[in-house]
Structure 1
Amino acid sequence: MASGDDDDPIIEEIDVYLAKSLAEKLYLLQYPVRPSTMTYDDVNILAAKIKTKQQRVELQMGMDTKSPNYCSSKGEQIALNVDGTGYEESNTYSVKLMDNQTFSSIQATTNTSRYAAGIFRKGELHLTPLTGILQMRPSFAYLDKADNKTREREADNEGGDSSQEEGEEEAKAVSVRYSRPESEQARQRRIQSYEFLQKKQAEEPWIHLQYHGVRDGRSEHERQYLFSQHVHASDNTELVKTPKEYLTMLMPPPAEEKVVKPVGPSNVLSMAQLRTLPLGEQIKTLMKNVKVIQFASLMGLLASGTDATAVLRCIQQVALLVQGNWVVKSDVLYPKNTCSPHSGVAAEVLCRGRDFVMWRFTLERSLMRKEVAAVIKLPPEDVKDFLEQVAVPRVNRGWEFLLPADTNFVKKHADVAQRQHMLWQGIQSKLEKVFHFSKDDFVPKNSPQPAPVHVSGEQRLKSAKDRAQEKQASLQKDLDAKRAGSSGSDIPIKQEPQSDGEPEPMDTSSSGIPNGSLNGYAGMECVNGGTLSNVPSPRLLDFVTETFGKNPVLTLNELKRLFSLHLATVPAGHIPFGPVSDHMLQDAVLLSRCKRIMVPFPALTTASADEQKVFGLWETGEDVDKHRRLLYEMFTKSYHVRRSAVQARLTEEFGDVSKADVDRLLKECCSSHAGMWYLKGTIQS
């Protein structure tokens, strides 16, 4: 060692023995849904059974119904749904309370030849080959039993009614046909079918076992079989293999299997065979294989000369439009009376979960798998399967939709896109009822969020003071300019008087605000000549800007209502605004590229003071701004206008303005009543 020839010396030699007493009986059970710190060692195991050929294990575990974390009312409801009100020996829960839970296994791997359980004792390592590695997960078969109970109850009710009304059924003629001999190809398809495999699995009987706890004497006796029973010096053999041969024994090279590919497999159609099918079947077969495709690519796969109108008619029967691309419908992939190959979940549940994923992709390009799983509450394997069909994973961006948005198709086939949009609205309403969510809960994440910047408290205080002073100067400048009036086509702006005392409070009380107070966050205030002047905070300005971006015209009354709704969504104890008065809210509006529109309400108007204060979005940098400003000017002369007058005035000022542009402008800013158009919120009964 002193010469330094060997820089990796042998520290210790350990004898390794192969134990074969439990070689074909040893299973490793994993519990992936529970952390390793929470074992089942102290749980009462009520029953255990196994199917050795399929390597399926079921454990029935008792539940601690006296635990403070156990909901007795829910347990009673589940037992009632599963077993009903009667007492039978076949009841799942004998005490009318969900007092046990069943865990069922799935194989973690089918090849366990490289896995063994090892135990170390007195400098010796004893290895026992594993027969199977099983993952134990909660079984929800009791829910299926509850559904069956409900169906049986409904069938009994319907059957009883029909029997009373109709009496005995009349005899009917029955036709008998003899089936043709089954071909070898049909037999192979039947053997590989899901129903056949399920039937074969059900034929193997369960073997009931007696469970012994980890501290039981029988368990300690069985653990002794993990040690090799022939550990003697005479049994030890020297390693006579060369290092290369020994490594080859440890890691044999992969065997090259010669697989003879069939000329025409029964489950695959060539393009020539595909084109012999009717057009609807061709499209259905293609969509089941590709899952998502652009319309131009689909036309390229079909025979030349195929009518695009006929293809559009067929594709809508088996697919839905997502971002201009066609995605196969869920009920085509998961037909009725089937279940998930991963978890065994019923097809109806899978369809609802996959429809939710597809609907989310109609709103945004990327999704996070955790967010999807939190809503649809399906096993991770099924959620991943949904996403892999239509999306690809991106680093730090979740799952991005597989194909770019096909805007050309949407423009060219606007009628189809509109029908698909209405169809998605119907699907959305069904999903909202099933998963209990609102569309507003999912805001598209189009813009990347800035990285957080860590600054000290003194820096934040100085930055806040500087921003407050800048906002105060800007506000004063804007208010002076508006008070002096503006030239050109600007709308007259009315400056609201501001009292020298306390600011007028807004009626923005909400149950989500502690004690009904808005003072949950230090508002931005600056000192000018010894007097305090309230300045709209940046967050208030952001709220006003975002609100007018969605609603170009708002009355003060409607703005206060939207502000109250926004405050109600803020978590308790975290109010991002300071004390907000009507004057401060109006100042925030005037600082957010908006102006007040002096609408001449009639003398006997029923509108309140807040409803008569109308504000409109003035400047966004878009071409529609000039149309909007001209519309505001018309409403300074009359509180209602006709559409023809708006069309004529826009044409006079800006030349030829399309009917669609006028309709969009009126829809954004106005409401219609009795053939007249009013600014939103100003309509009078």
Structure 2
Amino acid sequence: MASGDDDDPIIQEIDVYLARSLVEKLYLFQYPVRPGSMSYDNVTHLAARIKPKQQKVELEVAMDTMSPNYCRSKGEQIALNVDGTSSEDSNVYSTKMMDKQTFSSIQATTNTSRYAAAVFHKGELHLTPLQGILQMRPSFSYLDKADTKHREREAANEGTDSRSEHERQYLYCQAMDTTENTELVKTPGEYLSMLMPPLAEEKVAKPMGPSNVLSMAQLRTLPLGDQVKTLMKNVKVMPFANLMGLLASGTDSTAVLRCIQQVALLVQGNWVVKSDVLYPKNTCSSHSGVPAEVLCRGRDFVMWRFTLERTLMRKEVAAIIKLPPEDVKDFLEQMSAPRLNRGWEFLLPTDHDFVKKHPDVAQRQHMLWLGIQSKLEKVFNFSKDDFVPKKDAQMEPVHISGDHRLKSARENARENHGAMQRELDARRLKASRYTGSSGESGALVQVKQEPMSDSEEPMDTSGSLTNGSINGYPNSTSPVSDPHNGHGHSFTPELQDFVRSTFQKHYVLCLSEVKRLFNLHLASLPTGHSVYGHVTDRMLQDTILQSQCKQILVPFPPQSNATAEEQKVFGLWESGETFDKHRQVLFEIFMKNYRVRRNVIQTRLTQELGDAVTKTDIDRLLKECCMSLGGMWYLKGTVPS
């Protein structure tokens, strides 16, 4: 990918703005029967007429009757055919010569949502959406007027009686033979069927619509945005496929996606109506009188929790949002159903097909939920760590049986006992090194170490790292306890040195990459040299956080295939040099988006650190901490495979 970027470098980045002053007023005129080199820019425009709703335009432009290419005799003849010999104000050509031409429009396309007019000014690109694209073609309505004059002259010269008698003959049936005239020869049953034909059955079954809204015929008379809002306000939770089925056939799905994002949020691949649509400003709860603003916050919390798991407990929700029970019940009934001994389960199954088909929409919704989550944390005073999403919420029940709890408790007790025993053995080993044969402390006694067999090598099935007998010898040194780590874990100074030196070299690493580098380091140690002890994932993470590093909460997209260890990203926060400020700003940027453009990084650095930030600084920062893919920059280790 790096070589591909070198072949096609970014040469310029341009800011794009959306101008709305001429929205619904800007049209593009095309002249398909005229070469591009012969424009109408310098032609005198005499009149213009427009029907905005029909997007119908007529233009009258002057013709150069003095041009050597103009046939004067033809122009006079056309004017005579159209206006006759009379001189009236209603004449088309007042100069008795065809001295003007009319252009009439037809629509080139009915959907102009993909087109805009652009103006490039001072390094900025300003876009205005087009209301319509019209093709202007010459109108020959003057020939119709000439034909009308001709028919009027013929009628005046022809006898009216003999002409009317000729037309009257067409009122009589021309075929009197009954064998050919079969239209009136029907049986009573056939005649009745003609009067009352049977109703045609619907072959395509459409999803049921809400019973308390307008009829579907009335609904479809509304603009598309109002149709979507009305349906979502009454149904409240709906898959996108069902929404398309309720709309008129042929409705553009892209336009529906734009409308649905205005009135609903994506929860488990399904659309749930926004809280402010159900509870507008200056309204209150019909149950408790709670203001709409407070109701919206509480309902947003319920929706956010359903983005993390399939089921919720009503008491748990009520304890956090602190709203009356009737309002909490309303929130849950709108988007979930009660399940026996399982709490409230989200109404619809997760729509994975929609997320796969529209990853861009899913990513925008994910970023939107991150912003909502941040606001909810401040309002309700909780941490996102309090609600850790399960790996498969659909397969895990809310309540765990007593037998299962007892089994888990016994397993935890055995693990804790094993850990305590290992720590006790290590302390005894350490004490034996500093105790002589007479029992007096202070005399260093070398302890002979014997190699362990393969069957005695310690195993760790919890995903932790262990030095063990990787070089053929058991652990020889017990970890040193650090009372300041806050977790009661122990790690050696050697482990801290390894972590510090690793991050000073790589700057950004995910947990899985740190573990890989640590295993390589262990394999490179001389035989018998083992000073790290039993290292678990938690010990390694604590050591990283104690080594001037911080975890960078990168908002990975929902469709990311990164593992849990790959999503735990750490960066060197402080190294003692002034360039630390640059890295800290960069890490804060990546806490809001998992991929960004270079100009965003440059702008943010300039805002935070001033104009002293140079291109060399940005190049160094990106080289140390980031990787490029498709014109976007990612933190190292977070580039999608």
User: Would you say same fold, with TM above 0.5?
Assistant: no
- Greater radius of gyration (CA): 2
Q: TM-score range by the shorter chain?
A: 0.3 to 0.5
With normalisation by structure 1, the TM-score equals 0.35
With normalisation by structure 2, the TM-score equals 0.37
